[in-house]
Amino acid sequence: MNNMFTTPADIQRHLDSLGLFHMDMGLGRMRRALAALSLTRPPFVVAQVLGTNGKGSTSAFLASLAMAHGCRVGLYTSPHFVSPTERIRIGGPEHGVCAPWPAESWVESANQVMAVAPDLTYFEFLTVLALLVFAREGVELAVLEAGLGGRHDATTAVAADLLCYAPIALDHRDIIGPTLADIAADKAAAIRGPAPVCSVAQFPDAANALDVAARAHKAPLIKASPIAAGSRLGLNGPHQRTNAGLALAAWQQLAPLLHKNAHDAQAQTHGLAQAFMPGRLQRLPGVDGLLPPLLLDGAHNPHGMAALIKALRADGLKPAGAVFSCLADKDWLPAAQMLKHYLGEAPMFVITLDNHRAAAAEDIVEACNSLPPATAQALPQGPQALAQALTLAQAVPEASEARPILMTGSLYLLSEFFTLHPQGLLQPQARQA
The pLDDT of 328-357, averaged and rounded, is 94
Q: Confirm whether 365 is domain-assigned.
A: yes
Residue 38 CB contacts under 8 Å (≥ 6 apart), including other chains? none
* Number of domains composing the chain: 2
Work out the angle at residue 400's Cα, subtended by the Cα atoms of residues 395 and 404, and round it to the nearest 5 degrees: 90
62, 102: one domain = yes
Q: Phi and psi for 354 in degrees, rounded to 5?
A: -80, 75
Mean pLDDT of the chain: 93
Q: Could you give the CA distance from residue 224 to residue 233 in angstroms, rounded to a whole number?
A: 17
**How does pLDDT run across 19-29, given as a tens digit for each residue?**
876 667 789 99
267 and 288 within one domain: no
- Report if residue 166 sits inside a domain: yes
Mean pLDDT of 276-280: 92
Cα–Cα distance for residue pair 4/183, rounded to 1 Å: 38
Q: Answer with the one of 256, 274, 292 that is the final residue of a domain.
A: 274
Q: Is residue 432 one of the residues assigned to a domain?
A: no
For residues 292 and 217, membership in a common domain is answered with: no
69 and 114 part of one domain: yes
Has residue 433 been placed in a domain? no
Q: Are residues 228 and 326 in the same domain?
A: no
What is the per-residue pLDDT for 160?
98
User: Do 107 and 74 reside in the same domain of the chain?
Assistant: yes
In terms of domains, do 295 and 224 share one?
A: no
CATH number at residue 295: 3.90.190.20
Residues 55 and 168 in one domain: yes
Q: Can you give the residue range of the structural domain that contains 77?
A: 8-274
Helix (H) or strand (E) holding 164: strand 162-165
- The 10s digit of each residue's pLDDT in 82-141 is 999 999 999 998 887 899 999 999 999 999 999 999 999 999 999 999 999 999 999 999
Using pLDDT thresholds of 50, 70 and 90, give the confidence band for residue 286. very high
Query: Quick one: which H or E segment has residue 134?
Result: helix 122-136
Distances (CA, A) of 376 to 222, 346, 351, 373, 381: 44, 9, 11, 9, 15
Q: Is residue 3 part of a domain?
A: no
| Domain-terminating residue out of 234, 258, 274 | 274
Residues 226 and 367 in one domain: no
Q: What is the pLDDT of residue 431?
A: 36
CA distance 63 to 70: 11
The residue from 224, 257, 274 where one domain ends is 274
Q: Do 269 and 286 sit in the same domain of this protein?
A: no
Q: Indicate the pLDDT class of residue 430, thresholds 50, 70 and 90.
A: very low
Average pLDDT over residues 209-224: 98
Cβ neighbour number for residue 34 with a 10 Å cutoff: 24
Q: Is the pLDDT of residue 433 over 70?
A: no
pLDDT tens across 139-161, in order?
999 999 999 889 999 999 999 99
CA end-to-end span of the chain, whole Å?
50
pLDDT at 75 over 60: yes
pTM of the shown model: 0.89
Please give the average per-residue pLDDT across 47-60, as a whole number. 95
Whether 430 is covered by a domain: the verdict is no
For the domain that residue 120 is a member of, what is the CATH number? Answer: 3.40.1190.10
Give yes or no: residues 88 and 184 share one domain.
Answer: yes
What pairs with residue 197 in β-bridges?
A: 163, 221
Output phi, psi for 211, to 5 deg: -65, -45
Q: Same domain, yes or no, for 258 and 293?
A: no
The helix or strand, by DSSP H or E, that contains position 47, with its residue range, turns out to be strand 45-50
Nearest to 145 by CA among 182, 187, 116, 180: 187
> How far is it, in rounded angstroms, from Cα 48 to Cα 64?
15
Concatenated DSSP letters of 187-240: HHTT--SSS-EEE----HHHHHHHHHHHHHTT--EEEP-PPPTT---SS-STTH
Determine the pLDDT at residue 383: 87
